[in-house]
């Protein structure tokens, strides 16, 4: 599984598509299409364009929250927030071959996600971020260390989310995190940012073996 996931950001279709195209151009191989304020119809309409883009670039596409959209678009998978739907229901609808991830903020949440059969957990936030309106309590590095230390190694990949920068990666991997899911951190200079994130992710992972 790729260690770097881009979470799309934007209030309009144009902003969403522009950001996704920028990171794909720069080599990102995993996109989560997240547009909280959009209707299902709009998600399906723009999602069709996003799916065409990710296919053209050989990247994986996850849909945020909308099980129906993930099914109709035949996306590679789905990501569900804590209050955004049932993982078991999503698995039943999408099947075992699709990637299903879930958000967590506490050890209890992580264990719940594992029991539900997720393929990865998005754990966070690391710190304050302006890209999410309803922010869960901040974990900090101490929170990641505490939670990851209580999990069985290799159960499922844990991705750090929420305010993550490239400079955080070595310490996050030491905490037990597998990868990161980021949004605005990739958009200012996608070419440089994605190379930097991937270099740090894979070098740090290699050195930690």
Summarised one tens digit per residue, pLDDT across range 35-91 is 999 999 999 999 999 999 999 999 999 999 999 999 999 999 999 999 889 999 999
Q: Is 36 annotated as a binding residue?
A: yes
Q: Is 30 annotated as a binding residue?
A: no
Q: Is 101 annotated as a binding residue?
A: no
Q: Is 33 annotated as a binding residue?
A: yes
Which of 89, 48, 88, 40 minimizes the C-alpha distance to 64?
Answer: 40
Q: Is 131 annotated as a binding residue?
A: yes
For residue 209, the model assigns a pLDDT of 58
Average pLDDT, integer, range 92-96: 98
Sole residue written with tokens 């993930």: 70
List, for residues 112-167, the tens digit of each pLDDT value: 999 999 999 999 999 987 665 566 899 999 999 999 999 987 789 999 999 999 99
pLDDT at 207 over 80: no
Q: Is 128 annotated as a binding residue?
A: no
Residue 109 and residue 103: Cα distance in Å, rounded?
Answer: 8
Question: What domains does the chain contain, in order, with CATH numbers?
Answer: 4-207 (3.20.20.70)
């Amino acid at each position: 599984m790729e260690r770097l996931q881009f979470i799309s950001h934007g209030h309009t279709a144009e902003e969403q598509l522009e950001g996704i195209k920028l990171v794909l151009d720069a080599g990102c191989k995993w996109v989560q299409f997240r547009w909280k304020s959009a209707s299902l119809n709009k998600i399906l309409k723009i999602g069709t364009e996003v799916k065409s883009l990710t296919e053209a670039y050989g990247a994986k596409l996850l849909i945020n929250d909308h099980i129906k959209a993930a099914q109709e678009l035949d996306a590679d998978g789905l990501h569900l927030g804590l209050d955004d739907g049932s993982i078991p229901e999503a698995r039943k609808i999408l099947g075992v071959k699709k990637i299903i991830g879930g958000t967590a903020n506490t050890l209890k949440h992580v264990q719940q996600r594992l029991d539900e059969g997720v393929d990865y957990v998005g754990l966070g936030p690391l710190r304050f971020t302006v890209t999410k309106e309803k922010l869960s309590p901040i974990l900090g590095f101490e929170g990641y260390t505490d939670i990851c230390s209580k999990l069985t190694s290799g159960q499922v990949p844990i991705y750090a989310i929420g305010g993550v920068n490239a400079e955080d990666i070595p310490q996050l991997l030491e905490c037990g995190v597998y990868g990161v899911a980021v949004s605005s951190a990739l958009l200012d200079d996608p070419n440089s940012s994605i190379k930097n994130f991937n270099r740090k992710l894979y070098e740090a992972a290699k050195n930690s073996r």
